[in-house]
Each structure stands twice: as structure tokens, then as C-alpha cells.
Amino acid sequence: MNEKLGSAPSGAYRSYVLAALSAVGLMNNVDRVVIYMFLQPIKKEFLLSDTQVGLLSGAAFAVMAALVAIPLARLADRGNRKWLITVCFAAWSLFTAICGAASSFTLLLLARVGVGIGEAGSPPATHSMLGDYYPRDLRSRAIAVFSATTAIGGVCGWVGGGLLMQAVGWRNGFFLLGSVGLVMSLIFHWTEREPERIDGLAQGSVPTKGLIAELGDLRSFAMLTSAMALAGFVGAASSWLPSFFERTFNLPPIQVGIGLGLSLGFPFAIGTVLGGQMGVRYVRNSKSWAARFASVSMALATPFLMGCFLAPSPLLAFGSLFVSMLLIGASTGPVGVTVQDLVAPHARATAIAIVGSALTLFGGGLGPVLIGAISDWLLLNDPATNSLRAALMTTAIPLLMASGLYWLLGRRIDETHRVAV
């Protein structure tokens, strides 16, 4: 599939590029999610509190990922994105394998930091490449396919994590996933090519400080970034879901993994495809449509997410989770297009990195630790309470705030468009 560099990409090769980048995104999400299925045995082996579990599942990965995302994205905007994705893919796969050899909480924490650094460089470079391979009217569908495949990675992480836990244990599970990722990174490098940049700018022609200042002056971009950061707390909740189902309903890991794969990853993937198809239909006529759609989706998803935590049975809990993830997943494709619409082509990777860093830092980093700390505090004050259930219900607040911001963003985009016309 190695086409001649500089030639216009054929439809078949463009589809292959989307498939290859989606495969990278799938493994990215598998390696990110699988540790959630391993947390309960890790907690028991290292005698951890819920706050420490939150550090392991959230902050260790997210803080460093957020710190390096923007520099790596600027490298994607200036340099060879194929090489960047290859190196990042190999790095996070190596550190995933190292997780299996950790002999203490501290060493496992450091290995997860390495995974976070490696995974931070891939999404911005991927979105930048898709922006150059696909025209705007097809971009929503391409991003939706990529997002859906990434969500399928979540399904594989949930279900595969439960199977690996039961079959080979968490240490060998990490070894196996890391080895597969290393092989896939080599295949990606051998079969991909770097696309021509459609903006025609020389690589590195935009100063980093000026570009970040320009993005900071865009009020709409700031609103979008804030909304994404708040919506990221849903991801914080998902990191605790295996522990929630195991503690609340006494389910074995394999049942939890299959249940979460079918009720979390699977509907999210369906939602992203449906949202992407709607984006192709409506995005030509309204640039604010995606933001308003995300607002309504998240508002509708909130009561179903709370229903998951309050359900008296695992079946009802999984069912409520299914509906909430279907609604949230539907917003990902159109929102991805909104990010690309708000900035110049040469700034796409940096824009994705800024948004992703905010989402990762607040949702993926702060969220799991905060939920764990609330759970520990509630347990200390009332040992008889289901402290984790109560802590998880606090995620309704940032989700509703994100919904409100998306609605205001839609109004802002409409006002800006009217002034421009």
C-alpha cells in the first residue's frame, strides 16, 4: 500500500490510511482501558486505597500526557506525522509491557506515566493527517469512523481485559498487549506515507508562541476546550466502572468486561458512526449544528448515566449505561469537525492537542483521583455506605455544565457567522 510520495492519494489508499490510523487508535484505547479491568487485583496485591487507585488509573497517565501533548502536536504540525505516530506507538507499547514487570505501586505508576507520554502524540497527528487526506464534506464521516474504531478499542479493552485477567492474570496481560503493539507499530511505519499539507505552508513557518496566543484569543475555541474538559469526567467515571460493578453486584471480571464492552464501548462506537453520518448531512449548512447537537446529547445522557449508578440490578445498570454512551458517542464526530473549523489548517494538530490536554488533565487525570478521594472520605465517615456509588454520581455536575457550554458555543458560532456575512 506504499503509494508514490507526492502523488494524489487514490480512494483505495485513502481508505487504507483511515483503516491504519483507526487501528492505531484502537490499540491506543485498548492499552488505556485495559488497566481498568486489572485495578481490583492490583489494589489487592499492593494494598492500595481508592485515592491511590485513582492516581494509577488517572493522574499517572493523564498529567504527563497533557504536559507533552502540545509540544508533540507542534512537532506534528511542523514535521513528519508518520514518524511521530510510529515512535509514539512503539513507546506506549513498550511501557505497557513494562507495566507487567512492576514490583511495586511506584514502579507501576512510573510505567503508566510512560504509556501516557507515548499515547499523547498520536491523536493530534492522526487528526492532522485525516484533515489533509479528506475534504471538509467527508471529514466528519472519516473522523467518525476513526472515533468509532477507537471506541471499539474500548470494547476490546473491556472484554479482552476480563478474558486476560481470568486466563493469564494482569501481568501477562500487559506483556501480551505490549508485544502486539510493537509489531503493529512496525507494520504501520512500513505501509504508511506522509500526505502533502493542503494549506501549502512550509513546515515550521508558524511560531509556536504566536500560534498558541492566537488560539487563546479565540473565544469560541476556549469555550469548546472548556466543554471538552468538563465532558471528560465521563471518562473518569468509566475508569471506575469495573470496580463499581464488582463491588456493588459481586460480578466476576469476565462478566464485568463483557457487560461493559456491550454497554459502554459498543454503543459509543454506534453513536459515533450515527453522529458522523448526521454531520455529513447537516455540517454543510450550519457550522453551529455540531455544538448544539453535543449539548442536547449530553443533557439527555445525564439521567441515564445516573440511572446506571442507582440501578438495583446489573442488567438495569448496563442498560442505562448503554443509552447514555450511545448519546455521548453521537457527538464525537461533529465536535471533531468543529475543532477543525475553528482554526487554520496548519494549527489543527495543536488545536486537537490543546483540547485533548484539557480533556485528559481534568477528566482523565483529576477525575479518577477526585472520585477515589470522595469514595475514601465517604467510607471513612460511614463504613456501611456504598461510597463508590455516591462518588460516581457527582459526575452529573460537570456533564451538565459541558452541555450548557456547548449550547452557548453554538450561539457564539452563529453570531460570529452573521457578523462575517
Question: What is residue 286's DSSP assignment?
Answer: -
| Domains recognised in the chain with CATH numbers | 11-199+208-420 (1.20.1250.20)
For residues 336 and 379, give the distance between their C-alpha atoms in angstroms, rounded to a whole number. 39
Which cell goes with 22?
483507526
Average confidence (pLDDT) per 10 residues, the chain, 421 residues: 51 85 90 88 92 85 80 83 92 94 94 90 84 75 80 85 90 95 93 74 49 59 87 84 91 90 86 72 65 88 95 95 92 71 69 78 83 88 78 92 91 67 41
For residues 91 and 115, give the distance between their C-alpha atoms in angstroms, rounded to a whole number. 7
Which cell goes with 148?
468509532
- Give residue 202's pLDDT: 42
For residues 85 and 271, give the distance between their C-alpha atoms in angstroms, rounded to a whole number. 26
- Give residue 266's pLDDT: 84
- Give residue 384's pLDDT: 62
For residues 323 and 320, give the distance between their C-alpha atoms in angstroms, rounded to a whole number. 5
Residue 152 parent element (H or E): helix 136-167
- Give residue 166's pLDDT: 87
For residues 81 and 126, give the distance between their C-alpha atoms in angstroms, rounded to a whole number. 8
- Give residue 280's pLDDT: 57
Q: SS3 of 198, please?
A: coil
Q: Which residues of 88-100 are buried (b: 16+ CB within 10 A; e: fewer)?
A: bbbbbbbbbbbbb
